[in-house]
Amino acid sequence: MTHHLYLVRHGEQLDAEYGVADGALSPRGRRQAELLAARLGGVNFDAAWHSPLQRAAETADIIAAKMPALEPEPSALLFDCVPSGPAPETPSAYDPFFKSFTPDEVEAGRAQMADAAAEFLRGGARGDRHELLITHNFVIGWFVREALGAPDWRWVSVNQAHCGLTVLSQKPGRPWNLVVHNDVAHLPAELRTGLPEVYGI
């Protein structure tokens, strides 16, 4: 009896490099999502959720089109957010990044991810269960940090490519296990976008 949680970052967004907060997938982002759908085609998912933002919703639609039995649902717990602020031990190299967010934004993100962890990392699955979450880089970083019990700020150093695949699993009575992180084997080199070098983090 194992609970499997598949964490997927949305595909590349059109015009994101120009500071557009949300929008449709780029042609490359759509191709990323199609290849990810093919990669996940053999998984019998019990449920799927996605961030309500357009880039995540479109990624979910492309994946669902390849899996007729899958009906992803929007969840406000998967919105893009900043899950925490820095701690005294956070390297000063991250100061400019954290200072670009207000205390209110950080507090809202912290509250959101506390609720998300309670909802999606609840454990206690009866029998094998496979769940898919289509969300954002920082959210996935937080889930990985939470599963490993790392200090709160360490999510900022856990990054995913567009349509990269991260899988967590948990057996009853055991902690969460990081099975794979940011697996991009389904994407050719020219489609591996969204890593930290692009965003300066």
Q: Which CATH number fits domain 3-199: 3.40.50.150, 3.40.30.10, 3.40.50.1240, 3.30.460.20?
A: 3.40.50.1240
Q: Helix 54-65 crosses helix 27-40 at what angle (to 10 degrees)?
A: 50
- 3-state SS record for 136-199: CHHHHHHHHHHHHCCCHHHHHHCCCCCCCEEEEEECCCCCCEEEEEEECCCCCHHHCCCCHHHH
Report the candidate in 56, 64, 65 with the shortest Cα–Cα distance to residue 29: 56
**What tokens were used for 117?**
């962890």
For the chain, report the end-to-end CA distance as a whole number of angstroms. 38
Sorted by where each begins, the domain ranges of the chain are: 3-199
Report the candidate in 88, 29, 38, 98 with the shortest Cα–Cα distance to residue 67: 38
Q: Per residue in 59-117, pLDDT tens? A: 999 999 998 889 999 999 999 999 999 999 999 999 999 999 999 999 999 999 999 99
pTM of the predicted model as reported, rounded to 2 decimal places: 0.93
Digits of tens for pLDDT over the chain (201 positions)? 899 999 999 999 987 666 667 889 999 999 999 999 999 998 999 999 999 999 999 999 999 999 888 999 999 999 999 999 999 999 999 999 999 999 999 999 999 999 999 999 986 556 789 999 999 999 999 999 999 999 999 999 999 999 999 999 999 889 999 999 999 999 999 999 998 764 443
Task: Using the Cα atoms of residue 34, residue 147, residue 161 and residue 74 in order, give the sign of their dihedral.
Answer: positive
Q: Alpha-carbon distance 140 to 138, whole Å?
A: 5
pLDDT at 199: 41
**What tokens were used for 24?**
């449709």
